[in-house]
Structure formats: C-alpha cells, structure tokens
Amino acid sequence: MRRSNQFQTSLSSKVAVALSGLGLAGFVSFHMLGNLQVFEGPAALNGYAAFLREMPIVLWSARLGLLTVAVAHIALGIRLALQNRRARPVAYAVREYRVASMASRTMALTGSLLLLFIVFHILHLTVGLGDPSVHDQLDERGHRDVYGKVIQAFHNPFYVALYCAGQLVLGMHLSHAVSGSLQTLGVEHAALIRLFRAAGPAVALFVVMGNLAIIFAVFLGLVRP
C-alpha cells in the first residue's frame, strides 16, 4: 500500500510538472511574439507595453499566476529529482545514453541556469538595474520607452553575448520539456508519435530564433532608435 501511495504521488507530481512546463512554454512563446513588435517601431512596442500596464489587475494577476506556476514547476522538479536519486542511491558504473538526448540528460542543469537568466532578465529590462538612465524615459506619446531600453541593451556586446547564452540554455530546456511533457500526459498515439517527439525541438527553435532575431537585428543596426 505504501508503494502504491508513493507511486500515485510521484505520478501526480510528474503530471503537475508536465502541465506547468507546458504552461511556461506557452508563456515564453507569446512573450517572444509580443517582443517581435520591435520590428514595427517604437510606437508599436511601447504601445503594447502601455496597453498591458493600463490593465493592472489583469497584468498583476497574470504575473502572480505565472510566478505560482514557475515556483510549483521548480519545486516539483526538484522533488522528483530527489525521489529518483533516493530510489537509486548507487550510481551506474557505466552510463549508456543510446536514447536519451543531451537536452534530456541536462534538464536539472539547464533549468537552474534558466532560472538565473530569468532573474537577470527581470532585473535588467523590467526593473532597469542594467542602465537606470533609460529605465524611466518616455517616448513622444508619453509611454515608457521600452523600445529605447531594448535598443540600448543590445548595442552592448556584453549583453548580446549574455542573452545569446541564455537562449542556448532556453532552447535546450524547451527541446526536451515540451516533448517530455506530452509523453508524461500520455499524448503518445502511435500515428502521431514522431510529431510529438518533434514538438519540443520545433517550439524551442521557434522561440529561440525569434528572440535571436531581435537581439541581432538591434546589434547589427537593422533596428534603430
């Protein structure tokens, strides 16, 4: 009976991690799409940011909800990792990775690095600790100049390198997370198994390429103040 309860608890945790992971993958996808408005100019991006701030209840509800999902995802992921380690306290003498990909074997590492990157990103572009001089600037319409902050940030080679490294970590984590989550939820129909296996790399490529397009467009001067 005790083993049965442990199994049910572990299974519930895996499902919760999968659902929260898919939710976070959806968020980073929509976040990237919103940021692509940088290619439409300052009015579009600053207007989009102003639109979000004009609905404080919705905005803060979304932020708190996202924070809750992220904390749950991290806590449950750590719990599962510890449970797996306790279940097999003696490491394998020889490890063979014939099926597991690099992304799947480094989920704990990429997840930890991704958390650090997200904290840095929030402090840098949301809080404005990277360059306080442009944080409170307003555009011609009186909106906070988010566009100007993005331009200022990615003219700096240091930030470009740091954000590119962050995208590499994000891509690796997403690549396995989406496919693994679909598998955990039982979405593994024989006729569609290849599609679901490709879903993770596809989502990762979609998000990372969109973010990198913004970074390099600014750095190379294709998007200007």
Domain ranges of the chain: 2-219
Place of tokens 């199994």: 7
Place of tokens 């940011």: 49
Q: Rounded CA gap, 22 and 182, in Å? A: 8
Per-residue pLDDT of the chain (225 residues; tens, 9 = 90+): 444 455 455 667 788 888 888 999 999 999 999 999 999 999 999 998 888 888 878 777 887 888 888 888 888 888 877 776 666 554 444 444 345 567 667 788 888 899 899 999 988 888 877 776 666 787 778 888 899 999 999 999 999 999 999 999 999 999 988 988 888 877 656 667 777 788 899 999 999 999 999 999 999 999 987
Altogether, the residues listed in the chain come to a count of: 225
In this predicted structure, what is the pLDDT of residue 214? 97
In this predicted structure, what is the pLDDT of residue 97? 39
The helix or strand, by DSSP H or E, that contains position 99, with its residue range, turns out to be: none
Long-range CB pairs of 121-126, under 8 A, 24+ apart, other chains included: 121/163, 121/166, 124/153, 124/159, 125/149, 125/150, 125/153
User: Tokens representing 222?
Assistant: 């294709």
- Indicate the CATH number for domain 2-219: 1.20.1300
In this predicted structure, what is the pLDDT of residue 2? 46
In this predicted structure, what is the pLDDT of residue 45? 92
Q: How far is CA 222 from the centre of its chain?
A: 25
DSSP 8-class letter at 137: -
